[in-house]
Copies of this chain bind each other. A is one copy, B any other.
Amino acid sequence: MSDNITINKQDSRHELRELLNSQLRLMLEQNNLEGAKSLLLPVQPVDIAEAIGDLPETQKLIAFRLLNKTEAIDVYEHLDYNTQQSLIQEFKRQEVLDIVDKMSPDDRAKLFDELPAAVVSRILEQLSPEERQATNLLLGYGEDTAGRIMTPEYIALKQDFTVGQTLEKIRTEARASELIYYMYVTDASRHLLGIVSLRDLVVSSPDDTLDKVLTKDIVYVNTDMDQEEVARLIQRYDFLAVPVVDKELRLVGIVTVDDVIDIIEREATEDIYALGAVQSDGDSSYFKTNLFVVARRRVVWLLVLLLTNTVTGSIIGAQEDILAQVTVLAAFIPLLIGTGGNIGTQSSTVVIRGLSTDKVSDYGPGKIIFREAIAGLLLGLILGLLATVWAYFLPQTNQNPIVCITVGFSLVAIALLASVAGSALPFLFRSLGLDPALMSAPFITTAVDVLGVLIYFTIARMLLGL
């Protein structure tokens, strides 16, 4: 979390960034290092990181070395993983120390996740003992847990401090802490006793002891809590940070609100990708991923769906006798399975999003599936009626009322089935310990297809007496 609020006034930030990128490249090409340096001076670290990331490989290190030490760390934390990796290979020993030793431990843990193990252990050796310990602590927790995303750089206080003493302590520790607006009061064995906000301190008298100021009822999380749950908690209570404790309830770190925003966005992307039957690409940039990797990420789902579609195909193929007699039946297949797929997708979308945002979890699956079934039935009745009338006026049906009624009945049955499947399957997936979002639109669509054609031809056989 950064407290710098620097950048030029400018409405269209996007254009400003493009201008910066092209100017920086130009100056580096002309070897105008002083110019480049003063160009970057008033710019926010995240914008500098983007500009450096866009430079040709050979210029990245040169541009990075123009930054002063403090700024270099901030910028490095914001670089994309590819650039971080390529820079670290080229750094001299002292540079690695300067940068990596001073990164926040959570950003460093993220970097180490991406670097080759050999590089990581080489860097770890060179870190100062405290920083090495902090990083090892974080790397010891599972991926996507509170332990992994927390920072151990918080301000810890003792209960008998006065407000004045505390403000003095903040003055000296502010540089090394990620967030100074909340402070944590602990006992001798690091058990969390209470939280003091800078707001509380500022409005209190300097002679008060923290005892009088601190909030004793605390919302905290455990190191192994899933990062998404941590994010939801901070979101629910509008916190700037939440303390993380270990199994013995000792304070080990804090998770800050800026990480939460990124988590919520990443989780939404994962859900959206799953709904679109695309395997998530983590944080990698769209244009930096190899096309064969892209194809591999997508082909798995397509093969599963291809297999299911062949089942639908075989079912239709097995109806050759009835199709040869009443060929017009084939014309309604796309309509029936298409509508079924769409209704199923609607139900699964609402249920999956409700599960991810924790908004339907208070109700049991039974109640939700029942509601979706009624909604599906309603939609089926509306669309079934419309389809029957439309089929009647279609030239190919020759106003054969039985064909029209077959289409209408099938649509009602398929709509009901699709809404039940669409709402029930995400719950089934969750109870199997899988991500409900995997029960995606394409999967629901294909599953409903199979059952849809079976229903259609069964009703047709019954009504047409074949």
Chain A residues close to B by CB (< 8 Å): 1-9, 11, 13-14, 18, 42, 44, 46, 167, 170-171, 174-175, 180-182, 195, 197-200, 202-203, 215, 217-220, 222, 233-240, 257-258, 260-262, 264-265, 268-269, 271-273, 275-278, 285-287, 291-292, 294-295, 298-299, 301-303, 305-306, 309-310, 312-314, 316-317, 320, 323-324, 327-328, 330-335, 337-339, 341-343, 345-346, 348-350, 352-354, 357, 359-363, 367-368, 371, 374-375, 378-379, 382-383, 386-387, 390, 394, 396, 441-442, 445-446, 449, 453
Contacts and interface: CB of A to CB of B under 8 A. Distances in A.
Given A240-B240, A269-B353, A316 B331 contact: yes
Given A46-B237, A333-B316, A338 B291 contact: no
Contact of A7 (B218, B287, B371): B218
Given A6-B215, A331-B317, A383 B306 contact: yes
Contacts of A257: 240, 257-258, 261
Nearest to A240: B240
A337 B339 contact: no
Which secondary structure dominates chain A's binding surface? Answer: helix
- How many chain copies? 2
A321 to B, nearest CB: 9
Contact of A277 (B14, B197, B345, B367): B345
Closest 8 CB pairs of A and B: A276-B349, A268-B268, A317-B331, A312-B334, A309-B335, A238-B258, A317-B396, A6-B217
Nearest to A305: B342
Nearest to A378: B295
B301 A342 contact: yes
Contact of A1 (B5, B238, B271): B238
A438 to B, nearest CB: 14
Contacts of A331: 313-314, 316-317
Nearest to A243: B5
A8 B316 contact: no
A308 to B, nearest CB: 8
A350 B294 CA distance: 11
A5 B292 contact: no
A333 B327 CA distance: 14
A45 to B, nearest CB: 9
Given A3-B199, A264-B264, A327 B334 contact: no
Contacts of A328: 317, 320
B354 A334 contact: no
A238 B241 CA distance: 13
A396 B310 CA distance: 12
A305 B234 CA distance: 40
Given A18-B362, A275-B349, A320-B396, 11 more contacts: A5-B239, A8-B217, A9-B218, A11-B222, A13-B233, A277-B349, A278-B346, A292-B378, A302-B379, A312-B338, A334-B453
